[in-house]
Amino acid sequence: MRVLAKVHRLDGYPVNWPDRPGEWLSHGPLLGSWVAELEGRLVGHVTLSPGGEDDLAPILWSERNGATRDMTAVVGRLFVAPEARGRRIGALLIGRAVEEARRRGLHAVLDVVASDTAAAALYERLGWELMAAVEQQWSPHQTVVVRCYAAPS
Give, for all 153 residues of the chain, the pLDDT tens digit. Answer: 899 999 999 998 999 899 999 888 887 899 999 999 999 999 999 999 998 877 899 999 999 999 999 999 999 999 999 999 999 999 999 999 999 999 999 999 999 999 999 999 999 999 999 999 999 888 899 999 999 999 998
**Is 35 strand, coil or helix?**
strand
CA angle 56, 62, 66 (to 5 degrees): 155
Rounded to a whole number of angstroms, the CA Rg of the chain reads 15
Q: What is the pTM of this model?
A: 0.93
- Characterise 3 by phi-psi region: left (phi > 0), alpha (psi -120 to 50), beta (else): alpha
